[in-house]
């Protein structure tokens, strides 16, 4: 088989560049359709430009809107982080709330057993905790 090592290198490089090109193209389309500031007609125009002249279209998009791509990605990441933290706080609050009732009831039982509160006070406080 007559396929020199340099040809293998160039073939590998072209395959790598081809794959990177598709990653870049998908990234541009993803940014375009996630951006709420671009109207529907603007998205349609960019899409036609990217489909008809893909190389030129991607480079023009990166020049014209490249700085905004980074800002939008940072904003989306920060929003996702805030949503995640809010979810964790909410979930943690839901799981700790029942145990606080248990702690309150345990304290009330301890006060009743020590004689610090009467049976009637214990029953009223217990009803208040359980509602």
What is the C-alpha R_g of the chain? 31
User: Within the chain, where are the H helices?
Assistant: 5-34, 40-52, 54-114, 119-130
Helix (H, G, I), strand (E, B) or coil at 125: helix
C-beta pairs of 19-28 under 8 Å, 24+ apart in sequence: 24/58, 25/50, 25/54, 25/58, 27/69, 28/58, 28/61, 28/62
The answer on pLDDT for 99 being more than 70 is no
pLDDT tens digits, 61-83: 999 998 999 999 999 999 999 99
**Predicted local confidence at residue 42, as pLDDT:** 94
Which segment of 28-37, 49-58, 106-115 scores lowest on mean pLDDT? 106-115
Q: Kindly list the domain boundaries of the chain, sorted by start residue.
A: 5-130
Q: Which two tokens stand for residue 131?
A: 């509602």
The answer on pLDDT for 28 being more than 60 is yes
pLDDT tens digits, 41-51: 999 999 999 99
The answer on pLDDT for 97 being more than 70 is no
Q: Average pLDDT over the chain, rounded to whole? A: 89
């Amino acid at each position: 088989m007559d396929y020199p090592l340099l040809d293998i290198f160039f073939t590998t490089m072209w395959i790598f560049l081809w794959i990177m090109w598709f990653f870049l193209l998908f990234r541009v389309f993803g940014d375009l359709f996630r951006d709420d500031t671009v109207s529907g007609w603007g998205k349609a125009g960019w899409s036609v430009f990217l489909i008809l002249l893909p190389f030129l279209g991607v480079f023009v998009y990166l020049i014209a809107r490249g700085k905004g791509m980074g800002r939008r990605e940072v904003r989306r990441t920060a929003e996702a982080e805030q949503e995640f933290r809010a979810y964790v706080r909410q979930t943690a609050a839901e799981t700790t709330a029942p145990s606080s009732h248990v702690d309150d009831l345990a304290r009330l039982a301890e006060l009743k057993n020590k004689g610090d509160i009467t049976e009637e006070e214990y029953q009223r406080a217990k009803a208040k905790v359980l509602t």
